[in-house]
């Protein structure tokens, strides 16, 4: 069971997730402090560890649109957030798969702050409202990268196979 | 069944006779571009080799390009140190396509690649920047990726698990009216498609308007294709592409344009009559919030920006300089001009545009991304409004979450600089002398 800790609308850009002025900070170990830096209240909760790992962020269509900055993914991954949205932008999706940030695509999703969600393999159950919603499965090409433990592990394996 | 341009390019790069949308491939990469975020790519590249017992080795340094543009010259010790680390890596690994902070060779990555002939028709170009879509203007398949994916490309020379995107055919006919240009066309298209309408799709541009458009204009279309979510925009290479690469980029070797088959499969076809277009404005805070200029004329602006990888080329500066020549930027308005590269800056100097801007009261800055992404210079004050020829107007984009950014063409930006409000460039403006 996971609690919805933040609800956002459509087209949340990477400028909102990780503002450009923090882009000189690149290392995944350092980016989590700037997650949603302009949503000061939520950012403060994250930094003071008031948001438990596995908490859910709910959003509308096209989450993660805009820049290719990987910080927008590593910053959320650093807090082990799960993103449940009606849809995701392409580069953000690929970066999440590469780094192991959990995205769940649920086109008909209805959820609000404080709701409890049960995220299964094929559907999300909002146990607060009692409603069930279908999950759009990841294409096999992306699932293969997740199963390999992310792109770095996958590339490492390929590299060693090439050398042998 | 025939193939689209993206299918043909990916088939060639993957050593297959034919591919179709949805196939998963590992295409060979012809060019791998990064900017300052090469600092993160380098970190992830070393991560890949960790524990392998292998010495980190780039698959082909001649196919890697690194251009400093996002924060030039460095705005902080942190950025300067990142740039220093990248410079050291470049030297150690022999990366020749490196464009440091220089007045002669420097500039914005999406201008440096075309003007140096690094991009060829039919090539697979990957960049750690979402606006890598720009290079589809030369008939290449070009798309943005993250730093970790680039590290993987640096090690292997292929992009892993690439799903062939479906293609939307965009057919544009008719002559663009006076003071209406490629920027208005792409803003109109993004408005029609919406910000997610082309997600995981390619936009393939056709029609007499596109054929008549120069490469500079085609770069605008492909640059902003990503604002509709597109993986890439592609203008199939033609005589103009070859002219640009031969005459302006100095390319001498063989070039092979890739054109779609007549019976290629498209998920959607859109037709646009360019002759009916008006100047378009993308209003805060999404790029698809597009309105014809009449709806927002008179909106007060505090800062005008002309430049960026979208509209910082010589013809953009020419349009703006013509409107500003002999006139003055309105009181209480700051106007910032960023040529897209050192080469363009030098050309603008020779043509007198830089003088026109300065005499009008504009500040001409060094080439680079400038205020577009809010990290470096030209930040906005609380509650202020910018009108900009850049490509994004997301909340906080120019560094201040309480500010508003409107997007427009260079003609609209210049006309509005004279009045201090959003102004239709088709109306004759006096401007204070």
pLDDT-based confidence at residue A140 (cuts at 50, 70, 90)? confident
Q: What is the CATH topology of the domain spanning B5-272? A: Aconitase; domain 3 (3.30.499)
pLDDT-based confidence at residue B112 (cuts at 50, 70, 90)? very high
Say if CB B205 and CB B235 are below 8 A apart: yes
Each residue of B17-45: pLDDT tens digit? 999 999 999 999 999 999 999 999 999 99
Of all residues in chain B, the one with the smallest CA distance to A15 is: B397
Query: DSSP assignment, residue B248?
Result: I
Sort out which chain A residues have CB atoms less than 8 A from B375's CB and list them: 20-21, 23-24
To which CATH superfamily is domain A2-136 assigned?
Aconitase, domain 4 (3.20.19.10)
Place of tokens 């930094």: A47
Best B149, B158, B163 member to test A by mutation, with max A CBs in 10 Å, is B149
CB within 8 Å: B155 and A27: no
First to last CA, chain B: 63
Query: How far apart (Å, rounded) are the C-alpha atoms in residues B45 and B41?
Result: 6
Of all residues in chain A, the one with the smallest CA distance to B376 is: A21
Q: For residue A144, what pLDDT is reported?
A: 83
CA atoms within 13 A on the CB side of B405: 28
Each residue of B352-361: pLDDT tens digit? 999 999 999 9
Each residue of A115-127: pLDDT tens digit? 999 999 999 999 9
Compute the CA torsion angle B97, B101, B103, B106 (nearest 10 deg): 30
Cross-strand bridge partners of residue B203: B168, B233
A-B CB pairs within 8 A amount to: 157
User: Given strand B280-282, what is the order of strands in its sheet?
Assistant: B290-292, B280-282, B404-407, B385-388, B303-307, B334-338, B363-364
Query: DSSP assignment, residue B366?
Result: P
pLDDT-based confidence at residue B375 (cuts at 50, 70, 90)? confident
A161 Cβ contact partners less than 8 Å away, ≥ 6 residues apart: none
Max CA-CA distance within chain A?
Answer: 55
To which CATH superfamily is domain B280-419 assigned?
Aconitase, domain 3 (3.30.499.10)
Q: In CATH terms, are B5-272 and B280-419 the same topology?
A: yes
Can the peptide bond before residue B73 be classed as cis, meaning omega within 30 degrees of 0? yes
Domain boundaries, chain A: 2-136
What's the mean per-residue pLDDT of chain B?
Answer: 97
ipTM of the prediction: 0.97
Of all residues in chain B, the one with the smallest CA distance to A38 is: B401
Confidence check: pLDDT of B333 > 70: yes
Average pLDDT for B197-222: 98
Of A135-139, B112-116, B149-153, the poorest mean pLDDT is in A135-139
pLDDT-based confidence at residue A162 (cuts at 50, 70, 90)? confident
Cross-strand bridge partners of residue A126: A117, A131
Query: How far apart (Å, rounded) are the C-alpha atoms in residues B142 and A12?
Result: 24
Query: How far apart (Å, rounded) are the C-alpha atoms in residues A38 and A103?
Result: 22
């Amino acid at each position: 069971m996971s609690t919805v800790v933040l609800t956002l609308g459509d087209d949340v850009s990477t400028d909102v997730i990780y503002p450009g002025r923090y882009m000189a900070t690149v290392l995944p170990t350092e980016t989590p402090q700037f997650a949603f830096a302009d949503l000061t209240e939520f950012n403060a909760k994250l930094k003071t560890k008031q948001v438990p790992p596995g908490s859910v962020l709910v959003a509308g269509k096209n989450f993660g649109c805009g820049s290719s900055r990987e910080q927008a993914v590593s910053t959320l991954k650093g807090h082990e957030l799960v993103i449940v949205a009606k849809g995701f932008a392409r580069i953000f999706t690929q970066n999440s798969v590469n780094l192991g940030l959990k995205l769940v695509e649920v086109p008909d999703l209805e959820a609000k702050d404080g709701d409890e969600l049960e995220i299964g393999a094929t559907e999300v159950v909002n146990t607060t409202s009692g409603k069930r919603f279908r999950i759009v499965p990841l294409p096999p090409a992306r699932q293969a990268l997740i199963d390999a433990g992310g792109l770095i592990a996958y590339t490492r394996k390929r590299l060693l196979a090439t050398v042998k | 069944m025939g193939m689209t341009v993206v299918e043909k390019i990916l088939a060639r790069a993957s050593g297959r006779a034919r591919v179709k949308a949805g196939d998963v491939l590992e295409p060979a990469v012809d060019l791998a571009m990064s900017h300052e975020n090469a600092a993160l790519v380098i970190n992830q590249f070393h991560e890949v080799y960790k524990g392998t017992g292998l010495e980190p080795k780039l698959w082909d340094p001649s196919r890697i390009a690194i251009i400093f543009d996002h924060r030039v010259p460095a705005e902080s010790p942190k950025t300067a140190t990142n740039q220093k680390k990248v410079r050291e890596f470049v030297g150690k690994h022999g990366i020749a396509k490196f464009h440091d902070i220089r007045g002669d060779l420097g500039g914005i990555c999406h201008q440096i690649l075309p003007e140096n002939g690094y991009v060829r028709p039919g090539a697979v170009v990957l960049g750690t920047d979402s606006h890598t879509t720009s290079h589809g203007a030369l008939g290449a398949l070009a798309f943005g990726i993250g730093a970790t994916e680039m590290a993987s490309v640096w090690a292997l020379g292929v992009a892993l698990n690439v799903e062939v995107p479906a293609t939307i055919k965009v057919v544009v006919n008719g002559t663009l009216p006076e003071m209406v240009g490629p920027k208005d066309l792409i803003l109109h298209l993004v408005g029609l498609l919406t910000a997610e309408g082309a997600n995981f799709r390619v936009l393939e541009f056709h029609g007499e308007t596109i054929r008549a458009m120069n490469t500079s204009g085609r770069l605008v279309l492909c640059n902003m294709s990503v604002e509709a979510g597109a993986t890439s925009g592609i203008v199939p290479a033609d005589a103009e592409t070859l002219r640009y690469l031969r005459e302006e980029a100095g390319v001498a070797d063989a070039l092979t344009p890739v054109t779609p088959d007549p019976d290629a499969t498209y998920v959607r076809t859109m037709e646009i009559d360019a002759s009916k277009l008006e100047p378009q404005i993308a209003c805060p805070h999404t790029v698809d919030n597009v309105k014809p200029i009449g709806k927002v004329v008179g909106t007060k602006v505090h800062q005008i920006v002309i430049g960026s990888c979208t509209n910082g080329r010589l013809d953009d500066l020419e349009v703006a300089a013509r409107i500003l020549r002999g006139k003055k930027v309105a009181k209480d308005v700051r106007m910032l001009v960023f040529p897209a590269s050192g080469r363009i800056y030098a050309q603008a100097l020779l043509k007198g545009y830089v003088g026109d801007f300065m005499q009008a009261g504009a500040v001409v800055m060094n080439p680079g991304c400038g205020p577009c992404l809010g990290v470096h210079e030209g930040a906005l004050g609380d509650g202020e409004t910018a009108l900009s020829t850049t490509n994004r107007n997301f909340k906080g984009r120019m560094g201040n979450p309480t500010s508003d950014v409107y997007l427009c063409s260079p003609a609209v930006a210049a006309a509005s600089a004279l009045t201090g409000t959003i102004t239709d460039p088709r109306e004759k403006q006096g401007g204070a002398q």
